[in-house]
Amino acid sequence: MVVAGSRLWSAQEMKKEAGAALKPGRVFIKPKDYRKEPFQRLVILGESTVEGGPWLHAKEERYADVLVRLINAVQEKPIEYINKGISNNAISPRSPGYGQSAKPSAIERYKTDVIAYDPDLFILAYGLNDMRAAMPLKDFREDMVTIIREVKKACNPVTVLTTVYYMTGYGSWPPINKGSIELTLKYNECIRGLAAEFDCILADAWSSEGGADWLINYDGVHANKVGNLVLGHRVFEAIAQHCSGLTNYVYEQERSTEWTRMVTQKRAEAGDPFKKTW
C-alpha cells in the first residue's frame, strides 16, 4: 500500500491510474498533424529533471538529450537544442516554494529563455516542485496559461506539455515536502486540460514511468538513467504521433528502394494503392 494524501492507494489503484491515459478510446480518432516540416530549434523550459544534476553520470543522460538524439536520428539536419532547466525552480513567485527556490522562476524568465530564441518546438515541463510545495492549483494553472499564451502569441511553436513525473520521496525534502500521489494526479489532470484547451501536445511523463519505483534515483525525486530513457522516448512518441515532418527524410530515403517499388506495385495491383494522407 502507498500513502497518498489522506488515504492509502493499493498497488492495483496505482497501476490503474498510471495506465489510464494509455487505454484506447471507443472511437478511432486520427491525430492532428501540428507540423509538416522538420524542426529547427527546440527550447525546453523546466526544473531539475530538465537541467540534470549529480544523480546522472553525464548530461547526455537527461531525457531532453535522449529526445534530441531521437529527433536527430530521423531528421536530415540536426535540431538546435536549448536546455533551459533550472534545478529547484518554481513556476512563479506565487508558488509557496519560491522563497527557497533557485531564481528566476519560469514566469520571470520565459521571455528571455524561450521567446527570445524563437523556437519552433517548445516543451514546458513544470509542476513537480510546485506540487511538492502545495501551490494552489488555481495559481499554478494561471501561471501556466500565461506562459503558454505568450509564447504561442510571440513565436507560435509546436508546444508540448509534460505531466508531473512520478517520485517516491514526498516527505524527504522540506520545505517542499507537502506533495503526494493524490496531489500529483490533480496537477496532471490540470495539465491535460491545458493541453486540450490551448492545442498543445501532451507527453504523459507520469504514465510512462508507470509508478515503477526502480526508475527513480536514491534521492526519491529524479528519474535515474533508465527513467530518463523512458521519459525521453515518451516525449518523442508524443511528438512523432502529431508531427509528420519528423518522417520527411525517412520517406525520402525509402522512396526509391527495391522494397518500396515492389510493395507499391503490389498494393496498386490489389486495388489498395499507397496514398499520402498527410
Cα–Cα distance, 126 to 11 (Å, whole number): 26
Say how many CA atoms lie within 13 Å of 69 toward its Cβ. 12
Cell of 91: 513556476
- pLDDT, one tens digit per residue, over 223-268 is 999 999 999 999 999 999 999 999 999 999 999 999 999 999 999 9
- Retrieve residue 117's grid coordinates: 530564441
Tell me which fold the domain 35-242 belongs to: Rossmann fold (3.40.50)
In three-state secondary structure terms, 218 is: coil
Query: For residues 83 and 85, what is the distance between their CA atoms, to the nearest angstrom?
Result: 6
To 5 degrees, how large is the angle CA 181–CA 148–CA 234?
Answer: 50
CB contact set of 199 (below 8 Å; sequence gap of 6+): 159
Phi, psi (rounded to 5 degrees) for 58:
-155, 150
pLDDT of residue 10: 54
> Per-residue pLDDT tens for 45-79?
999 999 999 999 999 999 999 999 999 999 999 99
Task: Provide the pLDDT for residue 26.
Answer: 79
86-106 pLDDT tens trace: 999 999 999 999 999 999 999
Q: Is 15 helix (H, G, I), strand (E, B) or coil?
A: helix
3-state secondary structure of 46: strand
- Tell me the C-alpha distance between 119 and 133, whole Å: 30
For 165-223, how does the pLDDT look when each residue is reduced to its tens digit (9 = 90+)?
A: 999 999 999 999 999 999 999 999 999 999 999 999 999 999 999 999 999 999 999 99
The answer to whether residue 141 scores a pLDDT higher than 70 is yes
